[in-house]
Amino acid sequence: MAKEREISIRDVVVDDGFWNRRIENAVEKVVPYQWRVLNDQEPGAAPSHAVMNFKICAGLAQGEFGGFRFQDSDLAKWIEAASYSLLYKDSPEVRAHLEEIVGIIEKAQQADGYLDTYFILAKPQERWKDIAHGHELYCAGHMLEAAVAYYQVTGCDRLLLVMEKVVGLIRKTFGEGDGQISSYPGHEEIELALMKAYRATGREEYKELAVYFIENRGRRPGFLEEEGFRKASENRWFQASYHQAHAPIREQETAEGHAVRAMYFFTGAADVALENGDGSLKSALERLWGNVTRQRMYVTGGVGSQGEGECFTLDYDLPNDTCYTETCASIGLAMWALRMLRLEPKAGYADVMERALYNNVLSGIAQDGEHYFYVNPLAIQPKVARFRKDHADVESSRVKWFGCACCPPNITRTLCGLGSYVYTRRGDAIYQHLYIGNRAEFDTEKGRARLCCTSSMPWQGRAEIAYEGPDGVELCLRVPEYAENFTVERNGAPVGFTARQGYAPLTVRDGDVLAVSFAMPARFLQADPRVAEDFGKVCAQRGPLVYCAEEADNGPLLHTFTADLAQPLEAVESGLFGGIVTLRAWGERADLASWQDGALYRPARREAQPGSLTLVPYFLWNNRGEGEMLVWMNAR
């Protein structure tokens, strides 16, 4: 098989003071934990049925299909995560589990190549009949991603051969020929997976199928006419835009519909734009990126503000306590950002990627690795969240698992595959997007390059990059949007540079050591006045981290605090969570004692007492028990 042309997941291993703890926890604890859950062996976790479904299909067990129709994808994401985990610990136990499940999948596959446990077991006569909501292509996409990961890390192509048969069947089933279905996936995912497989194997048929699905989307008939699109008549949130099928991608002006689907679709489209040098597709993606990140993204890097339809709504409609901001959608945003960086290295893409990874993505998993958020609100009052219908999607505490468990294994594959987000290569230039400690070795046009990065991020703005390799390679170091007084030293001496699209380009020689330093003062952020929920409010950010107030530090009624913008935020080194930087905001809190007469309303008068709030990084909220949380504070 052909060698992958991108920087391989094998070539960058994270070794970082901040991320090591999280990756080691994922490798040592979370991957085995999720294997137990997927095998229905973890007490207190919602049943998965994922492995059992494959065993029944393989003739190794008896029973009926269990779970959602897309349950196969949970297992696929675990296979991907487990494969990546071997880069950090070559665990015989994990290898055995992978070999076992690949063997079961091989036996479960049908003679014609079909592989989807829901339709094999529950509805065998309805294969390819519900393209909008059947998730057959979605599940195939995740399993193809798993196959590529397993092959890249272990060199074993057994699962890839299974998926070659699946893709062969899909190519026969979908197209414009006689007897074929002219359509596109209801839930996008296979497009980006096909492009991964194309880069890993060099097989043109993978790219051709991805192009077909992307170009055909939004055209008729598709599933909208052939299936009558039943849900559209029942619920307006499930119209064509829910699937990003309201127009061909080049005609789409705004990001619409289901946020995860949109992120995966745009990710696959960016892969195609890069491989085909498609300028019009790149322009469409730039337009959509601008809409998402400048009108429809939360400060935490969350996207998709409404629970019904798990979807985008309108520009600047960003409620804090009812927002959906699914963990998977933020992972999808980071994936899309990485593809946009491959298309054109602009620091703004990396700024968003970093924002998503450090905030909304990490919020989805507890410090213990065994509890998860599907929805990531920016404000919560637990009693209200448990009572009100419009808060029905919001959990006040992370849970051990979900019946619809797309997010937990997605987080794990992201953590174990974090190295893929650090660098991209463009011609003879290496771009370092994230100051995450790592050891990397990969080819450039001049020869093999080796980089070793040590970093103090996200607590301090310092990183050191040691380079070994051919002279004349250009190493481009990102200047983060929050960085002040960004400087670079080469071998101990200051070096000047002319920034290019937010990067400091430096031509390096063998043995060079570059030291990057910048200040990260804590600062208040405000939102565009058109964001009604945040008008007159501020939030706190230091470096890439967004901060929040918790009841655990400040007591209840957090909303009664008003920050004094004339008093700077104070950064405090704290022993919390093994050592973090907390922030303190100064201002005033309402004088609740003056309301002891029981009045619900009274003539307005200003009564407040000096006060402050202790703020912790948003991703750490709800690790000390249930309580109120607030990102956006009143301000004056």
Q: How confident is the model at residue 232 (pLDDT cuts 50, 70, 90)?
A: low
Give yes or no: residues 478 and 408 share one domain. no
Question: What string of H, E and C letters represents the secondary structure of 121-165?
Answer: HCCHHHCCCCCCCCCHHHHHHHHHHHHHHHHHHHCCCHHHHHHHH
Give yes or no: residues 453 and 341 share one domain. no
Give yes or no: residues 311 and 207 share one domain. yes
Strand partners, 635: 563
* Cα–Cα distance measured from residue 301 to residue 352, given in angstroms and rounded to the nearest whole number: 7
453, pLDDT greater than 70: yes
225, pLDDT greater than 90: no
| β-pair type (580-590, 570-574) | antiparallel
Note the pTM of the prediction, 2 decimals: 0.97
* Cα–Cα distance measured from residue 164 to residue 159, given in angstroms and rounded to the nearest whole number: 9
Give yes or no: residues 138 and 92 share one domain. yes
The radius of gyration of the chain's CA atoms, rounded to the nearest angstrom, is 25
At 29-75, the pLDDT tens digits run: 999 999 999 999 999 999 999 999 999 999 999 999 999 999 999 99
Instruction: Find the CATH number of the domain harbouring 452.
Output: 2.60.420
How many other β-carbons are positioned within 10 Å of the β-carbon of residue 494? 9
Give yes or no: residues 308 and 439 share one domain. no
Helix axis angle, 259-276 to 190-201, nearest 10°: 30
* pLDDT attached to residue 224: 62
Q: How confident is the model at residue 597 (pLDDT cuts 50, 70, 90)?
A: confident
Of the listed ranges 1-5, 6-10, 332-336, 539-543, the least confidently predicted one is 1-5
483, pLDDT greater than 50: yes
Among candidate residues 519, 538, 568, the one where a domain is terminated: 519
Give yes or no: residues 218 and 88 share one domain. yes
Structural domain harbouring 403 = 9-421
Q: How confident is the model at residue 427 (pLDDT cuts 50, 70, 90)?
A: confident
Of the listed ranges 109-118, 392-401, 476-485, the least confidently predicted one is 392-401
In contact, 267 and 339? CB cutoff 8 Å: yes
Among candidate residues 499, 519, 539, the one where a domain is terminated: 519
Q: How confident is the model at residue 230 (pLDDT cuts 50, 70, 90)?
A: low
* pLDDT attached to residue 2: 33
In contact, 608 and 589? CB cutoff 8 Å: yes
Please tell me the total count of domains within the chain.
3
Phi, psi (deg, nearest 5) at residue 32: -65, -40
Instruction: Find the CATH number of the domain harbouring 14.
Output: 1.50.10.10
Active site residues: 310, 406
Give yes or no: residues 507 and 528 share one domain. no
Tally of residues, the chain: 636
Residue 493, amino acid: A
Among candidate residues 474, 501, 519, the one where a domain is terminated: 519
% of the chain exceeding 70 in pLDDT: 97
At 355-391, the pLDDT tens digits run: 999 999 999 999 999 999 999 999 999 999 999 999 9
Alpha helices in 17-91 (DSSP H): 19-25, 31-38, 50-57, 72-85
235, pLDDT greater than 90: no
Give yes or no: residues 236 and 149 share one domain. yes
21, pLDDT greater than 50: yes
Which positions ≥6 away from 612 have C-beta within 8 Å?
Answer: 584, 585, 586, 587
* Cα–Cα distance measured from residue 525 to residue 543, given in angstroms and rounded to the nearest whole number: 12
Residue 416, amino acid: C
